[in-house]
């Protein structure tokens, strides 16, 4: 049986993956500091067959704007050290998780494909984080080219799920939105306040769907790198309206504060390459996923 290590095991995707791949070993920053060369060296000497690298320093738009140096430093260190010592310890397979924010911030056509990856700079509001992830793609490609390894990376669209942090500064947009809806219910308010204009377009995927793709890559020894994303691309306002309907709050008013930045207007990616490897894959419908998270948060008193 393969010996599998998953970094970022306490994060959103890590916890969803643990539910369906319990035999792997899951670590978090409490176990090893992946910015420490000594820690990473020790970790990679444990004889892994496959490392799934999910760990990253992440945050929302405001966090990215206020702490760009920390985002790029921490992520470059983690990615570089883990990839280096995986290679030096002859880890046969390495799968890293990137983000669609690494794609060019302003492009002439959409959806973006994997061949567009290095065709322009990422959007400025999360530029440092995006560059650290883009560098990891280049590092993996370079290692494969020089050493003949079969490492790969997955580029998911925006995520949400039951295990996300409910923190308006650090949560993914949709998770924060669900938290705001629950708080408004509890406080008897008839509206929710959202940042920006509501006009940008986004793809949102339930994190369990990504976990299923990762598991499929491991079990079927898929070594290609590709986008992982739903086909639908909706405005922030449309997503919020679906969330209100799915949670039984269609009467609530949406208020947008356009003094805050929207971030990238659109960054939708093609899932055509992914579906060649997973031709029968079915994504969780957005309303169903939102309803699942909403019910989970309420039943567990998370918000």
Q: What is the pLDDT of residues 51-110, one digit of tens each?
A: 999 999 887 777 777 888 999 999 999 999 999 999 999 999 999 999 999 999 889 999
> What are the structure tokens assigned to 176, written together?
């924060």
pLDDT of residue 49: 98
pLDDT of residue 168: 59
pLDDT of residue 120: 94
CATH of the domain at 247: 3.90.25.10
Whether 155 shows a pLDDT value over 80: the answer reads: yes
Residues annotated as part of the active site: 129
Residues 145 and 249 in one domain: no
What is the three-class DSSP state of 301? Answer: coil
> What are the structure tokens assigned to 25, written together?
């070993």
Residues 188 and 112 in one domain: no
Residues 50 and 191 in one domain: no
Residues 91 and 193 in one domain: no
Contact 198, 235 (CB under 8 A): yes
CA distance 129 to 72: 5
Q: Mean pLDDT over residues 127-147, rounded?
A: 97
Residues 76 and 135 in one domain: yes
> What are the structure tokens assigned to 137, written together?
């793609």
Q: Which of 179, 266, 180, 265 is nearest to 229 (CA)?
A: 266
Residues 93 and 195 in one domain: no
* Tokens 């639908």, residue located: 232
Range of the domain at 251: 165-201+233-266+286-299
Contact 228, 208 (CB under 8 A): no
Phi, psi of 39 (to 5 degrees): -65, -45
Tens-place pLDDT, residues 249-269: 999 999 999 998 887 788 999
Q: HSE (CB half, 13 Å, CA atoms) of 152?
A: 19
Would you list the DSSP string of 169-214? Answer: TTS-HHHHHHHHHHHHHHHT-SEEEEES-S--EE-EEEHHHHHHHH
Going by pLDDT thresholds of 50, 70 and 90, the confidence category of residue 245 is very high
Contact 283, 212 (CB under 8 A): no
pLDDT of residue 180: 95
80 is a domain residue: yes
pLDDT of residue 275: 98
CA distance 292 to 121: 36
170 is a domain residue: yes
- Share the mean pLDDT of the chain: 94
276 is a domain residue: no
Residues 87 and 189 in one domain: no
Tens-place pLDDT, residues 169-194: 566 789 889 999 999 999 999 999 99
Query: How many other CB atoms are found less than 10 A from the CB of residue 186?
Result: 10
pLDDT of residue 265: 87
273 is a domain residue: no
CATH of the domain at 80: 3.40.50.720
More confident position, 296 or 263: 296
Write the Ramachandran bin of 292: left for phi over 0, alpha for psi from -120 to 50, otherwise beta.
Answer: alpha
Going by pLDDT thresholds of 50, 70 and 90, the confidence category of residue 2 is confident
Residues 19 and 148 in one domain: yes
186 is a domain residue: yes
188 is a domain residue: yes
Judge residue 59's burial from the number of C-beta atoms within 10 Å of its C-beta, 0-12 exposed, 13-18 middle, 19 or more buried: buried
Q: Mean pLDDT over residues 14-22, rounded?
A: 98
pLDDT of residue 273: 98
Number of domains in the chain: 2
Residues 86 and 217 in one domain: yes
Q: Mean pLDDT over residues 214-243, rounded?
A: 97
Residues 116 and 245 in one domain: no
pLDDT of residue 170: 60
């Amino acid at each position: 049986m393969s010996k599998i290590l998953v970094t970022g095991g306490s994060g959103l995707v890590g916890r969803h993956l643990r539910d369906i791949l319990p035999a792997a070993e899951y670590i978090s920053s409490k176990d090893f500091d992946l910015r420490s060369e000594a820690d990473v060296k020790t970790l990679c000497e444990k004889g892994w067959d496959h490392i799934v690298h999910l760990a990253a320093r992440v945050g929302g738009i405001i966090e990215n704007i206020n702490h760009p140096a920390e985002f790029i430093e921490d992520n470059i260190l983690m990615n570089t050290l883990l990839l280096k010592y995986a290679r030096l310890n002859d880890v046969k397979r390495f799968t890293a998780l990137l983000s669609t924010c690494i794609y060019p911030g302003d492009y002439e056509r959409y959806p973006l494909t994997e061949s567009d990856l290095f065709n322009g700079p990422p959007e400025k509001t999360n530029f440092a984080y995006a560059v650290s992830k883009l560098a990891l793609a280049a590092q993996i490609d370079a290692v494969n080219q020089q050493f003949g390894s079969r490492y790969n990376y997955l580029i998911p669209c925006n995520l949400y799920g039951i295990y996300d942090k409910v923190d308006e500064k650090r949560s993914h947009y949709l998770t924060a939105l669900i938290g705001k809806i629950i708080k408004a219910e509890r406080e008897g308010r008839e509206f929710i306040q959202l940042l920006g204009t509501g006009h940008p377009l986004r793809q949102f995927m339930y994190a369990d769907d990504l976990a299923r793709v990762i598991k499929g890559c491991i079990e079927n020894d898929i070594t290609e790198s590709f986008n992982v994303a739903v086909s639908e691309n909706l405005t922030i306002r449309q997503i919020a309206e679906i969330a209100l309907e799915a949670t039984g709050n269609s009467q609530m008013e949406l208020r947008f504060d356009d003094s805050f930045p929207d971030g990238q207007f659109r960054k939708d990616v093609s899932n055509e390459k992914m579906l060649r490897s997973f031709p029968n894959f079915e994504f969780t419908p957005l309303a169903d996923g939102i309803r699942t998270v909403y019910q989970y948060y309420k039943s567990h008193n998370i918000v």
